[in-house]
Structure 1
């Protein structure tokens, strides 16, 4: 099972995601589309990813162009460039998925969805002043209102 996510780097919120039994471009595109329709970003948004072939593909680059996003990719062999996303995947493995044996793919997908709800709405982040991603984002919008 593979998971693709789109994270809002400011709030650490997972704003787009997709789960499937492959790691092809279509999986990553599905996560990007979800994020785009949920947040409706302004043109010129910087989209950062690792150097996976899915993100470098023609199909994905064309989708970014259509959405008027600028592409940024990690430097070769440097996991620190994408560390918030790497940290998310460590968290989901060590806080949830590694402790379960799933009877079906559907059960595994539900566990991912449950973890995403926990991660965005209940998991505290030291980077955010020990707030959840949702609370941090809500405080931001209250400040600028």
Structure 2
């Protein structure tokens, strides 16, 4: 798993869990978000397009709205790097 050096990724409990699953970890250099560009871009879009405009009253509401946003992001929302097409149809074309 490739991630930045945030405490949520470097916590001993997570590192032990990943090790038990035989999942290796690599960490990008501190202050180098371009080394993990896809994830950093997704996180920025999720924050700007979704999280900044929501106040969740319950965990269930957060889960439902997050799933809905991710589904829209992956199947409907146009992406500039794909010629302003959504990524899911692009992935289907690439695998055909």
Same fold at TM > 0.5? yes
Aligned length: 93
Residue of structure 2 aligned with 1:122, choices 72, 76, 83: 76
Contact 1:125–1:132 (Cα < 8 Å) also in 2: yes
| Structure with greater proportional helix content | 2
Task: Please report the TM-score for the alignment, with normalisation by the length of structure 2.
Answer: 0.76
Question: CA–CA distance in 1 between the matches of 2:77 and 2:26?
Answer: 28
User: Greater CA radius of gyration, 1 or 2?
Assistant: 2
- Moved >4 Å (runs of 4+): none
Q: Which runs of 5+ in 2 are unaligned?
A: none
Task: Please report the TM-score for the alignment, with normalisation by the length of structure 1.
Answer: 0.54
* Larger relative contact order (Cα-Cα within 8 Å, sequence gap ≥ 6): 1
TM-align CA RMSD: 2.1
Tell me which residue corresponds to 2:29: 75
* Offset from partner CA, 1:5-54 (integer Å, 9 cap, x none): xxxxxxxxxxxxxxxxxxxxxxxxxxxxxxxxxxxxxxxxxx42112344
